[in-house]
């Protein structure tokens, strides 16, 4: 069976802490042998829409949604979900548009958007998967805890580079059968093979620089 390589967590400069121009992202992915990429900017699909116009076959419109409790990671998003909703409402809106729903860096307690187990348990029936490996994990046990949680509750696992600048693209990808939509991804994910490695801690300096420089331009 022919497998494709997919990046499921990637930011553009439409995220406040991203540095990659949306129009450049598909080209970068092609050079790195990435067949599909989900653009998951913080609380916006603007960058994903721009990137998809460049390469409709490669780019999946996604969004990393900050709720009042923690962050969700969604793919095949058709309508932007605003920041700051209760997780139940954000999940309802994503579910209504047929999006594939995961949870980003759920237990990386050193980052904004992490979750407590007790807050996730009531939401499990509405989740398609769980991010069991994030290349930017700051707390060494975060990915292990996420993988153990997904296994315990029978959730499929996703991985992501969480790339904010071009050098991070491809740090954590999946090899899996080709798919066209959210349902196809649900069917393909159990057959996925992981290719992943942790990014060096200094990558966080790139996103901090991006947020600082953008904030400075606005003042």
Contact 144, 137 (CB under 8 A): no
Residue 4 confidence (pLDDT) above 60: yes
**Mean of pLDDT values over 195-201:** 95
Q: Which SS3 state, helix, strand or coil, does residue 59 take?
A: strand
Nearest to 197 by CA among 141, 156, 148, 136: 136
Q: How many domains would you assign to the chain?
A: 1
CATH number of the domain encompassing residue 142: 3.20.20.140
- Say which range, 22-26, 62-66, 111-115, has the weakest mean pLDDT: 111-115
Residue 217 confidence (pLDDT) above 80: no
Q: Could you read off the pLDDT of 91-131 as tens digits, one per residue?
A: 999 999 999 999 999 999 888 899 999 999 999 999 999 99
Mean pLDDT for all residues in the chain: 95
Q: Which domain holds residue 125?
A: 3-218
**Mean of pLDDT values over 169-192:** 97
**Mean of pLDDT values over 48-57:** 98
The pLDDT score that the predictor gives to residue 111 is: 87
Distance CA 4, CA 49 (A): 22
The pLDDT score that the predictor gives to residue 219 is: 52
Contact 38, 60 (CB under 8 A): yes
pLDDT band at 33 (very low <50, low <70, confident <90, very high): very high
Q: Whole-prediction pTM value?
A: 0.95
Residue 216 confidence (pLDDT) above 90: no
Nearest to 60 by CA among 16, 105, 25: 25
Beta bridge partners of 133: 159
Distance CA 52, CA 60 (A): 7
pLDDT band at 204 (very low <50, low <70, confident <90, very high): confident
Distance CA 21, CA 28 (A): 10
- E strand segments, 13-128: 36-39, 59-66, 71-75, 100-103
């Amino acid at each position: 069976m022919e497998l494709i390589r997919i990046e499921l967590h990637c930011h553009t400069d439409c995220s406040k802490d991203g540095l990659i121009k949306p129009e450049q992202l598909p080209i970068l992915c092609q050079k790195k042998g990435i067949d599909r990429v989900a653009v998951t900017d913080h609380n916006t699909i603007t960058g994903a829409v721009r990137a998809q116009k460049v390469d409709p076959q490669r780019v999946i419109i996604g969004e990393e949604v900050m709720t009042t409790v923690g962050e969700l990671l969604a793919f095949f998003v058709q309508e932007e979900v605003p920041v700051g909703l209760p997780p139940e409402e954000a999940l309802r809106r994503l579910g209504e548009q047929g999006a594939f729903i995961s949870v980003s860096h759920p237990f990386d307690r050193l980052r904004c958007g992490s979750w407590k187990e007790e807050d996730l348990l009531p939401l499990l029936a509405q989740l398609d998967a769980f991010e069991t490996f994030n290349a930017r994990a700051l707390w060494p046990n975060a990915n292990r805890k996420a993988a153990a949680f997904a296994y315990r509750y029978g959730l499929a696992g996703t991985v992501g580079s969480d790339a904010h600048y071009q050098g991070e693209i491809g740090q954590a990808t999946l090899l899996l059968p080709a798919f066209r939509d959210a349902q196809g991804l649900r069917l393909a994910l159990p057959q996925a093979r992981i290719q992943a490695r942790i990014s060096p801690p200094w990558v966080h300096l790139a996103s901090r620089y991006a947020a600082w420089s953008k904030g400075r331009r606005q003042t």
